[in-house]
Structure 1
Amino acid sequence: MSTATHPTVSFELFPPRRPELDEEVWRRVLCMAGAGPDFFSVTYGASGSSRAASAELVRRLLRHTDVPPIAHLTCVGATREELAERVRALFAAGVRDFLALRGDPPRGEATWRAPEGGLSRSSQLVALIRQVEAEVLGPPGDPRRQAGHPSIVALDLGISPADVVSVAVAAYPSGLSHTRRDELAALREKQDAGADFAITQVFYDAEAYASLVADARAGGVHIPVLPGILPLTDRRRLHRLEELSAVPVPVTLDALLDVEDEHERLRRGIDATLALIDRVLAVGAPGLHLYTFNQDRPALDVLEHLRARGIRNPALMTRPAVPGPVPAT
């Protein structure tokens, strides 16, 4: 259940792919942090290529900004105990917010197969995070839990009751091979396992988002569903995402961005993004999660537009301190 009084604005980040990019990525991250988003989410290399970099970026955000980071986790390439150890390490670093994903098949494999001794569904990963949470912070009523602040992410989203830890999951408005019925069953399963809210994968039609939420509510899914919005400024990236997600780029959008002048293409892309955002907010979206690909300028342009429309500035909010590391017992 959500009691949010304002739409949230959050950004997804990628850890640097190469060490020489660390400081350039961090400079852009600081620009975005300075704008006061409600939270960051930090992607996680399912094949292992960026797990260490992802964890380091999360720790750096905790140390040097007041924007809470959501740490991504996937089921790919790890046993259940290895995943539990990663969750414990993130708790020890001070992380209180997670995004639990099944993950895509490892590179070179066409179909998903659970690793030996591993998990096969994101709902199982949600349950594992909740289990480790109870080990580290104690069960409900434990003094260790009572001494902790509720998750800032949960507070900002108006999740009631707001717990010390939040767990997010993915939702899919369009473009998948499975049916809407399968998607709703999976979303209900993730909610029942302990998920607090969902973030959608990319979509281009506000009606796809609105129909997903309506169908979810009819099916007993009550958690907030944040629309994941990609700034529509990079035509090549849109087509690359189409290959990965099977969500087709609309012909009209593709034609709109097919111009030589870079500034004109950027202007058109931002206008198209803002039009999509206006439509999802009009149908009741609780906030916006922007897939930035570490590009600060489009994300900040979008945020400036939203604030011009009266959305409150998260940077002006007095936040409780982010909890420090809690040792496992």
Structure 2
Amino acid sequence: MTVTTRSEEAARSAASADTPLFGTMAGDISVSFEFFPPKNEKMESQLWDAITELAPLAPGFVSVTYGAGGSTRERTHATVARIRRETELVPAAHLTCVAASKGEIDEIADQYWQAGVRHIVALRGDPQPQDNGVFRPHPQGYESAAALVEGLRKRHDFEISVAAYPEVHPEASSAQSDLDNLKRKIDAGATRAITQFFFSADAYFRFLDKALTAGIDAPIVPGIMPVTSFAAIRRMSGNTLIPASLESLFTDLDERPGPRALVAAVAAADLCKRLYDGGVRDFHFYTLNKADQTYAICQLLGLRAHTPCEETV
């Protein structure tokens, strides 16, 4: 029988204590980032600062959101076109069914294709304010995200991402109907799903199990939202559970943006590590056009900036 001495146990414990929480992360992950189109010159400068800072992390793609009712249509297109024109990044344009006919959406899709954009994030879109929280499709429009995916597939050979909801879309009648809707989107030709933000790794893994049982084998990439404002996260959460342990981390930090940002980066990195330990290697970050937190999370996960190779003589 092998006997372990107390000194050996102490040595192992000391070695473990000397290893930082994220010290063993291999950096073998892939990332993508979401931005939103700027409303003014100051916001445009902030956006491009964020893009410039995050670009060396070599994201697989960067997506640009589309405002409610198509309110940012031109700004979204201009931002996507500029990313395509001025950077080495792969842009993905959000496109929704809201307040547009099939002909109008097809025309937008054609414009993206002609600009060299090959990736669309296809979404149903939120109900318009006058519809009292009920989505009403345009009379000549696409009635759902699945129909939009099918229409885009017929138009061009886009790579298409769609949305998924680990804790169920707030408007869904049931978890099963929400899962059925995701399957329709994948069956219509979507390449992958990107989840709404969540704070429980267990909720994500349970959702993956249900998706596989439903015959969904496309990648379902976790969407990660660092907490920039806990009050805002509460408003946006819908059916998303906010663990009490997470809420306690942000106690009394509402008026302390610096400490709050640091805590948020570590909390999000901890969630990513839990996902990583469960086999996840692809992550999508909702940046809110701010680079620091997302960059810090990627750094904690072992991802390092790519720099151009120096020319050897």
Counting only pairs closer than 5 Å after superposition, residues 52-201 of structure 1 correspond to structure 2 as 52-109=74-131, 110-133=133-156, 165-177=158-170, 178=172, 179-201=174-196
Greater Cα offset, 105-114 or 57-66: 105-114
Matched, 1:249 2:272: no
Report sequence identity in percent: 33
What is the SS of the residue equivalent to 1:108?
helix
* TM-superposed deviation, 1:236: 2.9
Aligned counterpart in structure 2 of residue 296 of structure 1, from 271, 283, 291:
291
- The unaligned stretches of length 5 or more in structure 2 are 1-26
Change over 3 Å in CA distance of 1:218–1:316 after alignment to 2: farther
Q: 2 CA distance for matches of 1:315 and 1:86? A: 33
Change over 3 Å in CA distance of 1:218–1:264 after alignment to 2: same
* TM-superposed deviation, 1:240: 2.9
Q: 2 CA distance for matches of 1:268 and 1:280? A: 19
Contact 1:75/1:120 (8 A) holds in 2: yes
Instruction: Give the residue type in structure 2 aligned to 1:170.
Output: A
* TM-superposed deviation, 1:37: 1.9
Q: 1:214 is matched with which residue? A: 209
* TM-superposed deviation, 1:20: 4.4
Q: 1 CA distance for matches of 2:35 and 2:209? A: 29
Q: 2 CA distance for matches of 1:48 and 1:167? A: 19
What is the SS of the residue equivalent to 2:156?
helix
* TM-superposed deviation, 1:55: 0.7
Greater Cα offset, 293-302 or 249-258: 249-258
Deviation sequence 1:174-230 (CA, Å, 0-9, x none): 153422211221111111111111000011101111011111111111100000000
Q: 2 CA distance for matches of 1:264 and 1:314? A: 25
RMSD over equivalenced CA pairs, Å: 2.1
Counting only pairs closer than 5 Å after superposition, residues 215-294 of structure 1 correspond to structure 2 as 215-242=210-237, 245-260=238-253, 261-294=256-289
What is the SS of the residue equivalent to 1:199?
strand
Change over 3 Å in CA distance of 1:314–1:196 after alignment to 2: farther
Instruction: Give the residue type in structure 1 aligned to 2:37.
Output: P
Q: 1 CA distance for matches of 2:51 and 2:215? A: 37
* TM-superposed deviation, 1:274: 1.1
Q: 2:6 is matched with which residue? A: none
Matched, 1:7 2:64: no
Contact 2:224/2:284 (8 A) holds in 1: yes
Total equivalences in the alignment: 278
Q: 1 CA distance for matches of 2:103 and 2:306? A: 38
Q: 2 CA distance for matches of 1:37 and 1:256? A: 29
* TM-superposed deviation, 1:258: 1.9
Contact 1:233/1:268 (8 A) holds in 2: no
Contact 2:102/2:142 (8 A) holds in 1: yes
What is the SS of the residue equivalent to 1:173?
coil
Q: 2:69 is matched with which residue? A: 47
Instruction: Give the residue type in structure 2 aligned to 1:204.
Output: F
Instruction: Give the residue type in structure 1 aligned to 2:298.
Output: L
Greater Cα offset, 26-35 or 216-225: 26-35
Q: With structure 1 as the length reference, what TM-score do the two structures score?
A: 0.79
Q: With structure 2 as the length reference, what TM-score do the two structures score?
A: 0.83
Deviation sequence 1:16-63 (CA, Å, 0-9, x none): 023442223222221122332221111011322211111111011111
Q: 2 CA distance for matches of 1:10 and 1:80? A: 29
What is the SS of the residue equivalent to 2:169?
coil
Q: 1 CA distance for matches of 2:28 and 2:293? A: 22
Q: 2 CA distance for matches of 1:40 and 1:23? A: 17
